[in-house]
Amino acid sequence: MMGRKAGVEKAMLTVFKRNKAAMQFYERLGYEEDEYSPRPKKLRNGVVKELDYLILSKSLIGGVKNHQEEGQRKRKAG
């Protein structure tokens, strides 16, 4: 709510992939993998390196009322 009032467009955070409880928590709050989250990298020897974290984000555009309504819909849906 404070970010919205300050005109912030998006909230971002970093979460370790192995922290399943945190991943589920943030997803329930509406966070999704951000476009800037690092992708797997192919090293010169051909090995693909997966990073152990993701960058998640969620839009803060829209009013507080819209955010509250969205949360209520998700709780009802299950």
pLDDT of 52 reads 96
**Which pTM was predicted?**
0.70
Pinpoint the alpha helices (H) of the chain: 2-5, 20-28, 64-77
Residue closest to 36 by CA, chosen among 54, 51, 61, 24: 54
Residues in the chain: 78
pLDDT per position as a tens digit, 4-48: 888 899 999 999 999 999 999 999 999 999 999 999 999 999 999
Give the contacts of 51 (CB within 8 A, at least 6 positions apart): 38, 40, 41
